[in-house]
Amino acid sequence: MSNVLRLAIVDPNDSQRESLKSMLLGMDMIWLEAECSRYEFFADVVAQTKPDIGLVAIDGDPQKALDLVTRLGAASPNCAVLVVSSSNDGSLILQALRAGAKEFLTQPVRIEDLLGALGRISERRLGQGDNRPRGCQVIAVAGAIGGVGTTSLAVNLGCILAQDPQNSVALIDLDLCLGDADVFLDTIPDYTLVDVAQNVTRLDFTLLKRSLTKHSCGLYLLPRPVQLEDIGLITPDDLQRVIGLLKATFTHLVLDLSKGYTATDLIALEMANHILLTTQLDLPCLRNAVRLMMSFANMEGLAEKVKIIVNRVGLENGQITLKKAEETIGKEIFWQLPNDYRTMIEARNNGIPLIEQAPKAAITQSLIAMAKALSNDDQVKAPEAAGRKSGLGGLFGLWPSKSGK
Ligand SMILES: Nc1ncnc2c1ncn2[C@@H]1O[C@H](COP(=O)(O)OP(=O)(O)OP(=O)(O)O)[C@@H](O)[C@H]1O
Ligand SMILES: [Mg+2]
């Protein structure tokens, strides 16, 4: 459980404590070490159980609670204190931080705020030489043209990553109209993205995980809505929350984007650590790759995350050379995937991922090596650092008709 944060909570208000607990209990990254209803006992509880995080809900008696925060800082300096209050009064926040709190959250606690706070605490530990694994790696798979191989790449990459017992991997099909990730995995899911998006404020992590369909290779799938008319029910904000929740539960999230570059696709691009931009070596593809890169350059933090994947290398004579492609796109090619139509189409038609259907095939081996290269890539940036609002404006400004959701 080396990647788990151990947490102790104190809140004299039973119902509030229960609701915080149920939020925390669903998180795989959290181990609830101890709970306490009295401020006066909590310092001893922390001293005995040595949690990584002490969550102090201060509404019961703010002064007493803040004294406790000060005492915790002195007696248990390795325990990061997270203060929760229904007040967002600036002076109270200041007092809490001066008392030694590392984070301050306002009640009712929003799950993404809690995740953000836990992530920052976790990052600080890493900065101090703690060798806990990093958080979730979000991989957005985008394409330069329809049929370029985005879903083949996303599904098979997800399955390969899921082979590693250290990983837990989920794939979200964001091609909301015509996505076919479920076909590649031969599954008939009980729930889709629309169910999860509509209930995102009510879901805890256990329910969320149950809403996904687990493939025998270990990959969890959250498919696109069944009914076309349900697509409008998924707002970019909902999707942001869904991705936030999944990030806390899985080590890897693979997002199969549509070619519409809609508002939901943009959320995925922004929240990703890596954007795999899939292209082929023909003119229409490369032209679109250039256009996409130009738009990404207008959005803070996006262009740097892009990795160019050239698919179906060797497809036909007369393809544009890799060197020329690199020059045209203005970015080095991260990976080349060989052309192997028969293997690919067989795997898809049988609904069996390449790793099971054709583990020795060159295309499978290339994907395995690519998954490794991605995991080893230490250029992973915190996507939250990217300015979201300004970014959306950039792309929307360029293609207003495509993104108007
Ligand atoms: N490396 C490859 N070699 C040969 N064929 C491939 C390769 N990658 C994908 N294909 C084939 O290309 C076709 C399109 O693939 P896929 O559905 O993954 O593309 P897509 O970009 O997701 O399409 P869409 O735009 O419809 O979402 C499929 O028939 C697939 O088998
Ligand atoms: Mg597709």
pLDDT of residue 134: 54
> Relative to the alpha carbon of 344, which ligand is closest?
1
Among 145, 150, 151, 152, say which to mutate for ligand 1: greatest number of ligand atoms within 8 Å of CB: 152
CA 155 / ligand 2 centre spacing (Å)? 10
CA 348 / ligand 1 centre spacing (Å)? 9
Instruction: Specify the higher pLDDT residue, 356 or 33.
Output: 356
Q: Rounded to whole angstroms, how far apart are CA atoms 354 and 177?
A: 25
pLDDT band at 199 (very low <50, low <70, confident <90, very high): confident
**What tens digit of pLDDT does each residue of 7-28 get?**
999 999 999 999 888 888 777 6
- Angle, nearest 10°, between helix axes 236-249 and 263-271? 30
pLDDT band at 381 (very low <50, low <70, confident <90, very high): very low
Question: What's the one-letter identity of residue 177?
Answer: C
Q: Which of 215, 155, 142 is nearest to 367 (CA)?
A: 155
pLDDT of residue 391: 39
The residue nearest atom 4 of ligand 1, judged by CA position, is: 341
pTM for the complete prediction? 0.75
Among 344, 346, 357, 366, say which to mutate for ligand 1: greatest number of ligand atoms within 8 Å of CB: 344
Residue 175 beta carbon below 6 angstroms from any ligand 1 atom: yes
Q: Rounded to whole angstroms, how far apart are CA atoms 218 and 180?
A: 19
Residue 143 beta carbon below 6 angstroms from any ligand 1 atom: yes
| pLDDT at 117 > cutoff 50 | yes
pLDDT of residue 135: 72
Residue 146 beta carbon below 6 angstroms from any ligand 1 atom: yes
Chain CA centroid to CA 65, Å? 34
- Ligand 1 atom with minimal separation from the 345 CA: 31
Which tokens hold the place of 110? 């929003």
